[in-house]
Amino acid sequence: MTTDFKWGHLPERVLDALYAYGPMTGREVAQMLNLPNDLVNKTLRRMREPSKRQKPLGVRRVHISAWVTDAEGERKYPRPVYTLGHGPNKPQPKKPSRNEIVRTYARKKRNMRRMNFVFNLGVK
């Protein structure tokens, strides 16, 4: 992967990709442009902040319209979905509490034990 583009060229490419294909996560934009994830995510993070130099002041070029859960290996991460234009950023979903995590884990274990119990094989 090469990063031999001029200053200011990357935001234009990101905006063109969002315009052509609609709302996408930073990872999808990076795959589409064949660039590193961290570089595209830094650019999107800058573009979602209100402008301080470019006219009109206080306007965002992109905003977060939704959050999706993306799995990277065994872990799940909330990832923002970016949309063109000025708008309110949707807040990040709350993380589950420790009690909810423990309850979900216990429920999954209980269901696995019931399913694999030898006497359940003969039940219709």
Q: What is the pLDDT of residues 64-73, one digit of tens each?
A: 999 999 887 7
pTM here? Answer: 0.73
Ramachandran sector of residue 60 (left: φ over 0; alpha: ψ -120 to 50; beta: rest): beta
Answer whether residue 7 shows pLDDT above 60. no
Residue 109 lies in a domain: no
Residue 104 lies in a domain: no
Domain count of the fold of the chain? 1
Residue 29 lies in a domain: yes
User: Given this model, what pLDDT does residue 94 score?
Assistant: 92
Residue 114 lies in a domain: no
Q: Pull the structure tokens for residue 93.
A: 């979903």
Q: Any idea how long the chain is?
A: 124
Phi, psi of 93 (to 5 degrees): -65, 150
Residue 1 vs residue 9, higher pLDDT: 9
Report in angstroms the alpha-carbon separations of 47 from 79, 93, 119, 121. Answer: 16, 21, 59, 57
